[in-house]
């Protein structure tokens, strides 16, 4: 059964109808057809812990940046707002041979909620709740609930869904939320702003000059609801994706992952690490390992900042958090084992950091192989990867190709 949406201007919310010339679904649009193509990425029953895994997409480097607030204030009445509301974080990620280096700024949204019978305005920083809803939203888009809307002002991609459909995606991975919470999270995503300023360096080709980017946008470009009073889960929603995500869909700058495997984990750090492994560990195979430094990864996650004074007790607390996450990843079947090496200060001999080495499980290696094959097929179909005199490649050789 085809799950892709076939939608027309007539069944969009009234707030949109007068602004647009037409709508294309993933059935008719090539870029969206590729984004929603997931027929070949199901894990076989004997390799899956609980049946066929749900497939979704993750965006290159964008999903690896610390776009969400992990600690501190997440919702405050306007009168209690701190002097500094914009959160600044460093960007430093290497993806597919491209080094992204710079900074990101997060500006909170202003949302209105009922309190004691009155409307109260709050500052809401995008946090774990908003991250869960964003992941579920992209999961719906990957299933086919995405359209191309031809606005009078330009083209936008939008996810079309009901509140119940989004609630069900969250419930499926143990993240149930009442409708008002889901709606507030969507409003926070639409109202929160992102500012990027970064360079992109091709580490594989030194002849290519560095590229520089600077832009400002919202997590979601716009948000529209329609329905009848008291309708609850049947309320229809249209969430327009921002221009950055739009361009990444057009340029095939995304990779597939198994939504259930990552999002079923209870802890935010564990979910983030699992998604990171799916995104960056694309060469995972028996005998291959993945390394990272504790302080660096915690800074990328957003638990600490580069300017923080990391005391001995703080370092121990961070290690405890990562130990729990490592246990989660082992229990989930992503890694088989891991080891930790102390990093000491040359002068004092004190431990100042830890290096982690992770070993992939056979199950994770099989999943990555399946996802890599699918990703290459999408790139070939989309024209990103040119094939001349095509030859058949044995499965045991695909790992070397993936690393190139």
Please write the tens of the pLDDT for every residue from 175-193: 999 999 999 999 999 999 9
**Pairing verdict, β 351-360 and 254-258:** unpaired
Q: What is the pLDDT of residue 28?
A: 85
Please write the tens of the pLDDT for every residue from 89-111: 999 999 888 899 999 999 999 99
CA distance 143 to 168: 13
Token pair belonging to 8: 């027309």
Mean pLDDT of 223-252: 88
Mean pLDDT of 52-60: 85
Mean pLDDT of 217-222: 96
Give me the sign of the Cα torsion angle 242, 374, 264, 280: negative
Mean pLDDT rounded to a whole number for the chain: 87
Residue 1 has pLDDT above 50, yes or no: no
Which residue intervals of 45-113 are DSSP H helices?
A: none
Q: What percent of the chain has pLDDT over 70?
A: 86
Q: What is the pLDDT of residue 277?
A: 96
- Please, which pLDDT band fits residue 17 given cuts at 50, 70 and 90? low
Mean pLDDT of 107-122: 88
CA distance 60 to 253: 6
For residues 138, 142, 145, 147, the Cα torsion angle rounded to the nearest 10 degrees is 90
C-alpha 73 chain-centroid distance: 22
Token pair belonging to 305: 């900042």
Residue with tokens 């529209």: 224
Residue 119 has pLDDT above 90, yes or no: no
Q: What is the pLDDT of residue 3?
A: 53
User: CB neighbours of 18 closer than 8 A, spacing ≥ 6?
Assistant: none
Q: What is the pLDDT of residue 399?
A: 47
Mean pLDDT of 324-344: 96
Q: What is the pLDDT of residue 404?
A: 47
- Please, which pLDDT band fits residue 23 given cuts at 50, 70 and 90? confident
CA distance 354 to 326: 14
CA distance 73 to 125: 7
- pTM for the complete prediction? 0.88
Q: What is the pLDDT of residue 154?
A: 85
Residue 73 has pLDDT above 70, yes or no: no
Please write the tens of the pLDDT for every residue from 25-49: 888 899 999 999 987 676 554 444 4
Please write the tens of the pLDDT for every residue from 361-389: 999 999 999 999 999 999 999 887 654 44
Q: What is the pLDDT of residue 306?
A: 85
Hey, which residues does 146 pair with through a beta bridge?
159
């Amino acid at each position: 059964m085809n799950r892709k949406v076939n939608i027309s201007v007539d069944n969009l919310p009234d707030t949109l109808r007068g602004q647009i010339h037409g709508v294309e679904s993933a059935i008719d649009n090539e870029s969206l057809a590729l984004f929603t193509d997931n027929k070949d990425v199901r894990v076989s029953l004997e390799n899956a812990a609980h049946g066929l895994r749900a497939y979704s997409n993750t965006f290159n480097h964008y999903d690896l940046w610390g776009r969400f607030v992990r600690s501190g204030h997440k919702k405050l009445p306007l009168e209690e707002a701190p002097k500094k509301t914009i959160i600044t974080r460093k960007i430093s990620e290497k993806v597919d041979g491209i080094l992204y280096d710079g900074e990101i700024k997060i500006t909170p949204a202003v949302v209105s909620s009922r309190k004691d019978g009155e409307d109260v305005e709050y500052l809401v920083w995008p946090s774990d709740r908003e991250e869960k809803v964003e992941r579920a939203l992209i999961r719906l888009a990957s299933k086919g609930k995405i359209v191309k809307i031809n606005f009078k002002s330009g083209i936008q991609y939008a996810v079309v869904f009901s509140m119940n459909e989004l609630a069900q995606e969250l419930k499926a991975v143990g993240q149930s939320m009442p409708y008002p919470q889901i709606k507030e999270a969507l409003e926070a995503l639409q109202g929160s702003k992102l500012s990027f300023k970064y360079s992109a360096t091709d580490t594989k080709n030194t002849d290519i000059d560095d590229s520089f980017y600077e832009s400002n946008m919202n997590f979601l470009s716009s948000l529209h609801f329609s329905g009848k009073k008291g309708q609850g889960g049947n309320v229809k929603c249209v969430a327009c994706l921002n221009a950055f995500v739009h361009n990444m869909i057009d340029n095939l700058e995304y990779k597939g992952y198994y939504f259930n495997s990552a999002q079923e984990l209870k802890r935010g750090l564990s979910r983030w690490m699992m998604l990171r492994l799916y995104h960056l560990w694309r060469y995972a195979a028996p005998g291959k390992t993945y390394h990272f430094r504790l302080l660096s990864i915690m800074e990328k996650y957003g638990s600490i900042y580069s300017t923080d004074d990391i005391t001995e007790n703080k370092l121990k607390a961070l290690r405890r958090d990562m130990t729990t996450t490592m246990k989660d990843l082992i229990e989930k079947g992503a890694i088989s084992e891991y080891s930790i090496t102390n990093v000491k200060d040359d002068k004092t001999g004190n431990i100042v950091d830890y290096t982690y080495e992770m070993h992939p499980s056979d199950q994770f290696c099989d999943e990555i192989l399946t996802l890599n094959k699918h990703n290459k097929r999408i790139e070939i179909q989309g024209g990103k990867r040119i094939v001349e005199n095509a030859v058949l490649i044995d499965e045991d050789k695909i790992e070397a190709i993936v690393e190139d």
